[in-house]
Amino acid sequence: MKIGVLAVQGAVREHILCLHRLGVEAVPVLRPADLAGLQGIILPGGESTAQWRLLSRAGLAEPLAEAIKGGLPVFGTCAGLILLAKRITNWPERYFGVLDVAVERNATGRQVDSFEATVAVDGLGEVPAVFIRAPAIREMGPGVEVLGRYAGEPVLVRQGAILGATFHPELTEDLRLHEFFLNLCRKG
């Protein structure tokens, strides 16, 4: 199995290490040719505006959008979720717009307000999570399934082959969410 990690900015190395620990070939995606042969892609946490600007400059925005719309499984964490969201409540731009959610950028506050917690995930139990200037899911369309909640709020959602988390699972030692994503890729 070959999984890509969008490598323009953000927690790229951490996701690649998680995938390697699971015995999967993980490749950085920096240009359109890197999409060839992928069975899934991870859009890491980082800064969504910077990521979009860089992937657009690399000519990657359109081919990646086409691949995702064509059914390539994708896992967006934190900024990656913002890139996937259909609407951003406190930002005028929209990026890929493929996940039927409205998100609020930086909803948990500034960098100093970051925290670690456990998230109740359906079928997995308590999963450790790191929230860093995390977005919040404010609205969801009917095709979006909530898989995980923190303090009663949705923090992990799925719509078909699209998985989105408001937090950083790659910054913990727990690999269950990456395994969950790999199972989506195997089905896709």
Task: Spell out the residues 6+ positions from residue 161 whose beta carbon is closer than 8 angstroms to its own.
Answer: 71, 72, 73, 74, 184, 185, 187, 188
Catalytic positions, please? 78, 168, 170
- What DSSP state is assigned to residue 67? H
Tokens of 159: 């719509």
> CA 119: distance to chain centroid?
16
Q: Are strands 115-121 and 153-159 parallel, antiparallel or unpaired?
A: unpaired
Distance (Å, whole) CA 188 – CA 183: 9
Residue 134 has pLDDT above 90, yes or no: no
pLDDT tens-place string over residues 30-89: 999 999 999 999 999 888 989 999 999 999 999 999 999 999 999 999 999 999 999 999
Q: Write down the pLDDT at residue 107.
A: 62
Residue 154 has pLDDT above 90, yes or no: yes
Q: Write down the pLDDT at residue 112.
A: 60
Give residue limits of the domains in the chain: 2-187
Q: What is the CATH number of domain 2-187?
A: 3.40.50.880
Residue 24 has pLDDT above 80, yes or no: yes
